[in-house]
Amino acid sequence: MPHAGGSPLDPKTPDAGDRGSALIELDRVSRRFGGAVAVEDLSLTVDRGELLVLLGGSGSGKTTTLRMINRLIEPTSGAVRLDGVDTMTLPPHELRRRIGYAFQRVGLFPHMTVAENVGVTPSLIGWKTERIQRRVDDLLALVELDPALVRDRFPDELSGGQQQRVGVARALAAEPSVLLLDEPFGALDPLTRDRLQESFVRIRRELGLTAVFVTHDMAEALRLGDRIAVLREGRLVQVGTPAELLRAPADDYVRQLVETPRRQADLVESLLRAGAPA
Amino acid sequence: MREQLALLPDYLTGHLQLTLVALAIAAATSVPLGILASRMPRLEGLVLGLAGVIQTIPGLALLAVVVPLLAALGLTSIGFLPAIIGLTLYGLLPILRNTVAGIAAVDPALKEAARGVGMTDGQQLRRVELPLAMPVIVAGIRTATVWTVGMATLSTPVGATSLGNYIFSGLQTRNFAAVLVGSAAAAGLALVLDGLVHALEAGIQKRRRALVALALAGLGALYGYTALSFAWAARGGKERPIVIGAKTFTEQYILAEILAGWIVEETGLARLHRGLRRPARRRRRRLRRLHGNSVDDDPRPRHSACEPRGGHRRDRCVPR
């Protein structure tokens, strides 16, 4: 597990105790919408510098879980701690300024330029203009966009892949301690998605980011995740490294899930063999 | 025609005053009210419903009904005030409705993003929702503008000077030149104002700062002129104008004009104010209660000043 930044034994986190480097803790968290249970009694930790994937089908509660970390949804019961501090004790907007957030629908503000979009959280915090400009250019370069070319464009002048890159840059802008990503590459074509995943792996390695990444795509989870938490009907089924999941799936659901990439690969292989000259 | 055109500056200024003041008040009330309503679903139904009810009242009836309401409150019930109130009420709905609709139409993904990047509710409103709703809000102001210019022509019967003066007196005296001048001027004014607000709307939508600036400069100039016209009126009108009441039929107009001409000749004053009520003997007390001393004389022919008392014995009428 990579440890990037922060002492392993943070004095502010007595709860973390033996785990030491846990940055995010979900402690017996539940969320109900009316009578329906979205998340039930879920406990998870994310260590510093770790990328945890929340994996599951639709209705599994993975997005609800993610959004409870930055309080876009508030838990019905249980506690979420960031760096040992109960998130309910912070004003929500201040909490969210410390947590980068990127999601599938991107949500770039159409009336703002790319630079204004990326620099929005720093400007809310009150950074100086020059510092924001420098940060914006650095981040655009980091997500492999030419700052000079895109800085003053409006979001609707960019392709879907470029917009998502800007979305990731915006999430990173205020040097957040945590990055939350909700299927950020879900709406992109396979080639673009592949390139963005590749960029993201590199960015994360460079910055040593702590992140929680929601997806329903097993291949994406295996590629990006340090650990994978499998959710089903609001409950945590299994959490472990990709290798652990592949080696010892907790039940049939997890087994089927981890086997999908292999089945797809087998299918491609058999098609190749059938099409090859005898 | 020439004498009709000579009246144009006065009537046009009056019309501009009514339109622009009513629009400014309507916009200054409905935009904040619309924002509030978009935050509170319960208020939204109430406010939109109420504005909708006001809208169903025919324009002339709305203006007319303000007169007795103001009188009941003991306020000046003819002239500028009732017209402004009626016009403002009429301008509320389109702006209110578009403010609510514009904010509601903001993509939920953008609201989520606004919260996600750490905006407070106020910042979300100022930085995201209002800028995105602005073209829709301005479109509402544009609708209100055209309606208000049109309805301001109906404010003549409640005693406010407008281009409607041409139309009402022209129809009454079969002076079609006057009707034509009034109608054309009102239509022209509507086109100009609509064009300016349209330019503003398009400029905001297409992010063209120059167009926005141009439209704002045009509107600003008109507002500046209106403010100046008020200032002139305030400076020149320290003394209360002499008001001559007249009923809305031809002889009354002629008599009022003769009387006015006579006063102007004798005193050098030249202020005319067209009233709507006749201070008949029996009604004079009631009128005084209505308007205070806002009507000084009534040039009705003497014979009709008689009020039958206790029956129809005209011979017992006392000429004034």
Please indicate, yes or no, whether the overall pTM of this predicted structure exceeds 0.95: no
* Confidence check: pLDDT of B307 > 60: no
pLDDT digits (tens, 9 = 90+) for A23-49: 999 999 999 998 899 999 999 999 999
Find chain A residues with C-beta within 8 A of B107's C-beta. 107
**How far is it, in rounded angstroms, from Cα B304 to Cα B1?**
33
B205 to chain A: closest CA residue: A111
With an 8 Å Cβ cutoff, are A110 and B112 in contact?
no
Q: Does 1.10.3720.10 match the CATH number of domain B2-236?
A: yes
Query: What is the location of CATH 1.10.3720.10 in chain B?
Result: 2-236
Quote the mean pLDDT of chain B: 81
pLDDT digits (tens, 9 = 90+) for A145-201: 999 999 999 999 999 999 999 999 999 999 998 999 999 998 888 898 999 999 999
The pLDDT value recorded for residue A92 is 95
The pLDDT value recorded for residue B5 is 83
Mean pLDDT lowest among B18-27, B43-52, B308-317: B308-317
Cβ contacts below 8 Å, chain A against chain B, sum to 61
Alpha-carbon gap: A99 to the closest alpha carbon of chain B (Å): 8
- Which candidate, A213, A132, A204, places its Cα nearest to that of A173? A132
More confident residue, A188 or B103: B103
The pLDDT value recorded for residue B268 is 67
More confident residue, B134 or B285: B134
The pLDDT value recorded for residue B308 is 37
pLDDT digits (tens, 9 = 90+) for A196-246: 999 999 999 888 899 999 999 999 999 999 999 999 999 999 999 999 999
Alpha-carbon gap: A98 to the closest alpha carbon of chain B (Å): 8
Q: Is B10 on the interface with A (CB under 8 A)?
A: no
Q: Give the amino acid at A79.
A: A
Residue with tokens 């590459």: A185
Phi-psi region of B45 (alpha: psi -120 to 50; beta: other; left: phi over 0): alpha
Q: Mean pLDDT across the stretch A48-59?
A: 92
Question: Which ipTM did the prediction report?
Answer: 0.85
Mutate to test the interface with B, among A93, A95, A98 (most CBs of B within 10 A): A93
Residue A260: pLDDT band with limits 50, 70, 90: confident
Report H helices in chain B. 2-39, 41-56, 59-72, 80-104, 108-116, 121-123, 130-152, 164-172, 176-205, 209-236, 250-267, 281-291
pLDDT digits (tens, 9 = 90+) for A97-149: 999 999 888 899 999 999 999 999 999 999 999 999 999 999 999 999 999 99
